[in-house]
A and B are shown apart, each in its own frame.
Chain A
Amino acid sequence: MNKDAIFFRATRFVALAMLTIFGFISIIATGGSKVETNRIDCDVSTVTITSTLVGTVSDSGDTVTGNLTITCGTNGIRGVTITGSAGWWNIVSVGPSNASGVIAVAKSAEALGRSDIGTTKTVPIIVNGYDASGNEASRTITISIPIN
């Protein structure tokens, strides 16, 4: 194999490798852009979430109802009431549109069935806010939902 052929193959390999990396990065970078989210105006490390959410399995349809209370530092923030079908409900964009612009961003995943009665489901909630330096940051907080 002459030098030109080696150079051609090497160039092609590098180009394809870079293209593949760029392809993956672009998928990751743009994923989630369909979600309408608001960013909490506070340091995400100070955010706490308490939940009274309860899942109910019934023949008329599974539901998850209750209240999420989000606290940012020492500031109490209005709770978020959730009601919806357990199979697909998510907390994305459901939240107080109050002056402080606080919202919980989350997604549940559990499709409930009779076998789930008596169990506890955990649901990760993403909180979008800022870090201590003021840069945009996210944190995942897990809540537990008992199923009746």
Chain B
Amino acid sequence: MNTYRYNYLIVIGFTALAVGLAVYYFDRSPTLLSTTVGWEATPPKHHLFGMLGYNLPTLLHTLSFALLTVGMGRLNNTGAMIAVSSWGVINLLFEAIQHPTLATQLYYLFPNSKLSHFALSGTFDPFDVLAITVGALLSALILKHFQHLSSIPTQLEQHS
């Protein structure tokens, strides 16, 4: 059974998550976060990430949660691929329901629900779909890399 250097994956996952949060803090209006996590609502002061800030969080969400799931769950090869695919599909579904057609249908099905409000107030962006795909592929590549590394004994293991 293939295993990974799980702690590395957790570190990379949390780092990606931190970068994603930085985009929201510096580039996006924190008003939304203020209503959900209690951050102070102030207009964004910087545009640190420029154009990247539009789609980077979507990529990083898929990437970080896939790696964190594999790392924290100590998943094997099959589990890891299921985790990557699942987070990719989940992100794609949430992006898809922001499409105006689906968002309105969702509103008619579940009026005044948090989900339909999310869908209506969101913006469907084809580049987010691309970002999710890239995020999933990138996490698969990182997993592949660490799977390869795990077959190489560390110095500590060689000395013991």
Q: Name A's B-contacting residues (CB within 8 A).
A: 12, 15-16, 19-20, 23-37, 39, 88, 90, 92, 105-111, 123-124, 126, 136, 138, 140
Q: Name B's A-contacting residues (CB within 8 A).
A: 24, 28-29, 31-37, 41, 54, 57, 61, 65, 68-69, 72-74, 87, 90-91, 94, 98, 100-105, 107, 111-112, 114-123, 125
Closest to A24 in B: B90
Whether A35 contacts B121 by the Cβ 8 Å rule is yes
Once bound together, how far apart are the Cα atoms of A110 and B102, in whole Å?
A: 10
Once bound together, how far apart are the Cα atoms of A63 and B37, in whole Å?
A: 40
| Interchain nearest-CB distance for B85 vs A (Å) | 14
Whether B65 contacts A19 by the Cβ 8 Å rule is yes
| Interchain nearest-CB distance for A134 vs B (Å) | 13
Whether B33 contacts A27 by the Cβ 8 Å rule is no
Whether B31 contacts A126 by the Cβ 8 Å rule is no
Q: Which residues from chain A contact B31 at a C-beta distance below 8 Å?
A: 37, 39, 136
Once bound together, how far apart are the Cα atoms of A140 and B102, in whole Å?
A: 16
Once bound together, how far apart are the Cα atoms of A28 and B61, in whole Å?
A: 12
| Interchain nearest-CB distance for A140 vs B (Å) | 6
Closest to B13 in A: A19
Once bound together, how far apart are the Cα atoms of A106 and B104, in whole Å?
A: 11
Q: Which residues from chain A contact B90 at a C-beta distance below 8 Å?
A: 23-24, 27
Q: Which residues from chain A contact B36 at a C-beta distance below 8 Å?
A: 25, 28-29
